[in-house]
Structure 1
Amino acid sequence: MGLISLLWGIVAMICMVVALIPLLGWSNWFLIPFAAVGAIIAALGILFSSPGNRGRAKTGLVLNGIVILVGIVRLGIGGGVI
């Protein structure tokens, strides 16, 4: 699950960079739930993996968390609220 959450976080991060382009802020409405699912997968990966193998899941959790925070801030400043 750690690898899945890491890849999910990378895809979400790439989509976040695209969502920062003006007039594409509406895509944050889809990006925030996408990253939330990735964060849930990462949390499950942390929960069910051994202590030595949690690095990928923790990185996935951090990446998805950053995407969620940036998406909420972007929507909050009016960059996607229609």
Structure 2
Amino acid sequence: MGLISLLWGVVAMILMVIALIPLLGWGNWFLIPFAAVGAVIAAIGIALTREQNRGRAKAGLVLNGIVIIVGIVRLGLGGGIV
């Protein structure tokens, strides 16, 4: 679960960088739910693994959280209404 959430977070970050390009802000409407699913996978990974093996799941949770926050801020600034 940790590896899946980490890879999901990396893909979400790449898509976030693409959505930062002007006129592509509408991509955040799809990116926020995508990252939310990755955050749920990471939370499940944290809950189901031992303390020593939670590093990847925590990193995935952080990456997906950053993507969600940046996406919401970008839409709040009007970047998604084009």
Question: TM-score, normalized by length of structure 1?
Answer: 0.99
Tell me the distance in 1 between the aligned counterparts of 2:43 and 2:62: 10
The residue that corresponds to 2:39 in the other structure is: 39
In structure 2, runs of 5+ residues without a counterpart are none
Question: 1:14 maps to which residue?
Answer: 14
Q: How does 1:36-75 map to 2 (within 5 A)?
A: 36-75=36-75
TM-score normalised by L of structure 2: 0.99
Q: CA deviation at 1:81?
A: 2.2
Hey, what does 2:28 align to over in structure 1? Answer: 28
Deviations 1:36-72 (A, max 9, x none): 0000000000000000000000000000000000000
Runs (4+) off by over 2 Å: none
Paired-residue identity, %: 79
Letter aligned with residue 53 of structure 2: N
CA RMSD in angstroms comes to 0.6
Query: 1-side partners of 2:28 and 2:41: how far apart?
Result: 20
Shift of 1:24: 0.1
Question: What is the distance in 2 between the residues matched to 1:29 and 1:80?
Answer: 7
